[in-house]
Each structure stands twice: as structure tokens, then as C-alpha cells.
Amino acid sequence: MTNSTAIKRPLGANDTPARIAVTCALAGPALDLLRTVAEVEVPDADRPLSADELRSLVAGADAVVVTVHDKVDRELLDAAGPALKIVANVAVGYDNVDVAACADRGLVVTNTPGVLTDATADLAIGLLMSVTRRLAEGDRMLRAGTSWSFRLDFLLGCGMQGKTLGIVGLGQIGRAVAQRARAFGMKVAYTGERASNEVEQSLAARYVSMDALLREADFVSLHCPLTPQTSHLMDAAAFDRMKPTAFLVNTSRGPIVDESALADALEAGAIAGAALDVFEEEPRVEPRLLAMDNVVLAPHLGSATLETRTEMAVLAARNVVSVLTGSGALTPISS
């Protein structure tokens, strides 16, 4: 089931080699780095592990490296046992980790901020271009062998110049999207935590309430973390406040959008279209969305470049090595 390499420092429980449980395949440089300090166990399965498989894998581990689809709850921490020192999440968001439960056990939790900012921002703009210019729709038409000819009214889309991009969450990724939006001639409004005057001025970004953003924006792009407060932030009431010509883009977390309410809004013409990289119940997608030409769907590709995924994995590995060798975490999450 697993492949592992034992190296005898640092020592774990009972003076045995420290052990690192990795829940999925990582880039080679990250695994090589982990193997310099411990025995590394990686499942052969090319899929998310079940809860039982996760508990079995982490039992007795000194460190655990997880991804966004691995639920790190009290049961998993209990299964790991007292040797566990760090949970390294290969992602920026950490809604999959019970940070409070980790804090109760004195565990360090880390994430991978910064390294995936540009890749995710690029994808957000790419999704926006695809849905507004009907690129995926045209691609499907050609692949289906549908007859066509150039006409001045053929597959007309929506331009971005002069339009307002509403950004929900002006963190690192939100700011990177705003920079790209300016290059396309868009105006930027944002909501969420207020940025500094310097950031607002550098991005020509205008702070507005959530209600005002939904009413004013031609494009709404989600970049907030998933919390109890943001779960189903985009619900039926939110879609009712958007322009009927507006588009939604989500590269944050799936449950921020009520997919059923989104499908209802699209069917009713309450908004013009949507582009989603994340979903409420991944890998499941609301079936009605699959049948809609004005919806562009991607299978969670926000950080999916070779360079970015490698950097994410290496940063997670560096956090583990640093904690196990007593130097402290590089990018810790506080509870």
C-alpha cells in the first residue's frame, strides 16, 4: 500500500525514527526533503482517502501532510496519537482542519500562503474571459461538429473594458486579480476586510458594502475564506441583488456558493452566467449546471501549474522539517 524510506533523525516516540504521513502524492523535491529527516509514508491510491484509511495512515505519525480534501478533525488527531507535532496543509485555505482541536493538543498547523497567488489569480481571469466571451461554448460546438459560419451576430459575448469587477475578499489573491483587472481596463470595487489606503490607491480599488457590490458589479469574483459566516454567502437573495447581465466567478471554496440557488438564478435569467473552479460537494457538481452553456466549469485547477504545486508541496515539507528539527514553523496558522 505504501512506499517509505527510513532515515534515523530526528527520533520519534520510543527512540524510533520519526515518521511523516503524507495523504497524497507530492512533488518529488518535497518528498526528497521530507526523507532527509524521517520515514515517509505515502499511499499508492490515486484518490482521496476514506476517513478509515486516513486514520490508519496517520497512526503514530510525528507529522501529517494533508490537502484540502482531507478532514483533520478530533477523531483523526486521536488516531494519530501523542507523537504528532504538526499538521501541514498543502493549501492556503484551511477550512478542512479543526485548528482549535489542534491547538488543544499543542499541535502546529501550517499552510502554504503566497506561492499560489499568481496561478489562482490567472485562472480567475481566465475563467472570466471564458464565460464572458463564450470560449468554452464555442469549443464544444466545434468539437460536436456543429455547422457554423462567421456572422457579425455569431456567439456574441461581453467585453470587460470599462466594466466593474466586484471582488469579495481583497487578500493576496484578490489583490492579484485586481491588478490583472486593471490591465484589462476594468474598474475595481471590493468588499470584506478593509484594505489600507496604500493598497486601495495602488489598485484604484473602491471599498463598498456587500449589498452595493452585488448591485453594482458586472462581474463578481470570490476570494474570501470559507467560514461559518461565508458559507452560502452567495445564496438566492444574493443572486436576486445582482444585475441580470452580471457573471459570477468562484476560485475560492465551493460551499461559499449555494449551487442549487445558482442554478435557479441562471435558469430564471437573474444573472447572465457563472464560472466555477470549486464546488460544494467536490467532485460532485450540481447536475443542472452541467447542462448550461453559460456556465464554465473547471476541476479545482486554481493552483494547478507544475511550478505552483511544486512550490506548495516544498513549502509544506519545509514547515514539517523545520518543526521536527526544532526550528519552528515557517508559515503557522493561529487558532
**Residue 26 Rama label (left phi>0; alpha psi -120 to 50; beta):** beta
Q: Out of 53, 75, 200, 282, pick the active-site residue.
A: 282
Do residues 20 and 320 lie in contact, with contact meaning Cβ atoms separated by under 8 Å? yes
Q: Is 151 tagged catalytic?
A: no
DSSP E strands in the chain: the ranges are 2-3, 19-22, 39-43, 63-66, 86-89, 108-110, 164-168, 187-191, 205-207, 219-222, 247-250, 273-276, 295-297
Q: Out of 253, 286, 311, 318, pick the active-site residue.
A: 253
Return the amino acid letter for 53.
E
Q: Is 282 tagged catalytic?
A: yes
Cell numbers at 238, concatenated = 444574493
Q: Is 200 tagged catalytic?
A: no
Nearest to 272 by CA among 153, 156, 111: 156
Q: Cite the DSSP H helix spans in 189-303.
A: 197-203, 210-216, 236-241, 259-268, 287-290
In Å, how far from its chain's centre is CA 85?
25
Do residues 113 and 172 lie in contact, with contact meaning Cβ atoms separated by under 8 Å? yes
Q: Which residues are catalytic?
A: 253, 282, 300
